[in-house]
Amino acid sequence: MHIDVIGHGPALVLIHGWALHGGIFAPLVERLSPHLELHLVDLPGHGHSREDSTPLKLPQVVSAIAAATPPAVWCGWSLGGLFALHAAATLPQVRALAMIAATPRFVRSEDWPQAVEPSVFEQFGQDLQHDYRGTLDRFLALDVMGSQHARSELRTLRDALTARGEPAPRALHEGLALLQRTDLRGALHCLHKPGLWLGGQRDRLVPAAAMHAAAALARDAHAHTVEGGGHAPFLGHADLVAAHLQQFVAACP
């Protein structure tokens, strides 16, 4: 698995969302690398890890990342949040957990209304079979929908999508299955580590209310809403997100 290491200071592992790669965090790298040692993961089947055949499943991927990184705060964006949360719940070397537009459950249910309908991910899975590139582009458009800086964020996402080669279809289907089926809410009740939850006010995939609801399930977690932010708030509001992350890592024991 490819992991870029950039910067100096306390370690922060950054895990990207569906279909992208670690390069998407460039705005955070610019702001945080003078203060933190950033470990930028390309998940299996994505970016420079496209040929990595590791199944995109929580235990396998988390074990591989942990074997290649030092004790650190783990931060996950969107799909990457599931890996970060699983790691925080199972590995002592994870010092704290930061979640950006990510929750323990991405699909709606009677006891978890702040999420999307299961049919959303089912439809993306079906569409991938017939229109691979068009489906990816529609997903990126959903990422920025409602954001205060939607146009510029969409350009950034489109440029990043193929900057390291197209993601492997296998990994995309496995990622969608994770988003559909995973429910890690139970892990939050017994999580004895600091938590930071950052959500975009205008996020159409992971409502800010879901971030606050998830943080409320944990013992030592705080949620913040990025005003005007969409599903990728670190693009249009990089200064604010970086400041939150830097302060959070500095405060971790």
Mean pLDDT of all residues belonging to the chain = 96
176's CB contacts (< 8 A; 6+ apart) are: 18, 121, 124, 125, 128
DSSP for 111-150, written as a single string: TB-SSB-HHHHHHHHHHHHH-HHHHHHHHHHHHHTT-TTH
- pLDDT at residue 230, rounded to an integer: 94
**Known catalytic residue at 203:** yes
Both tokens of 93, joined, read 């070397």
Q: What's the whole-number mean pLDDT along residues 37-61?
A: 97
Contact 19, 172 (CB under 8 A): yes
75's CB contacts (< 8 A; 6+ apart) are: 12, 13, 14, 15, 84, 97, 98, 99, 100, 245
**Known catalytic residue at 231:** yes
User: What's the one-letter identity of residue 225?
Assistant: T
**Predicted model pTM:** 0.96
Both tokens of 77, joined, read 């964006």
Residue of 188, 230, 193, 227 lying closest to 78 (CA atoms):
230
Handedness of CA 104, 186, 183, 61 (dihedral sign): positive
- pLDDT at residue 187, rounded to an integer: 96
Domain ranges of the chain: 3-251
pLDDT of 129 strictly over 90: no
Name the band, by pLDDT with cuts 50, 70 and 90, for residue 107: very high
Which pLDDT tens digit goes with each residue over 166-192?
999 999 999 999 999 999 999 999 999
Tokens 């510029």 found at: 152
Q: 52, 78, 86, 244: which one is catalytic?
A: 78
- pLDDT at residue 130, rounded to an integer: 87
- pLDDT at residue 71, rounded to an integer: 98
- pLDDT at residue 253, rounded to an integer: 81
Q: How far is CA 152 from the centre of its chain?
A: 20
Contact 158, 137 (CB under 8 A): yes
Which pLDDT tens digit goes with each residue over 186-245?
999 999 999 999 999 999 999 999 999 999 999 999 999 999 999 999 999 999 999 999
Architecture of the domain defined by 3-251: 3-Layer(aba) Sandwich (3.40)
What are the start-end ranges of the E strands in 57-103? 72-77, 94-100
- pLDDT at residue 17, rounded to an integer: 97
pLDDT of 84 strictly over 90: yes
Q: 203, 224, 237, 244: which one is catalytic?
A: 203
State phi, psi for 221 to the nearest 5 degrees: -130, 150
Name the band, by pLDDT with cuts 50, 70 and 90, for residue 20: very high
- pLDDT at residue 74, rounded to an integer: 98
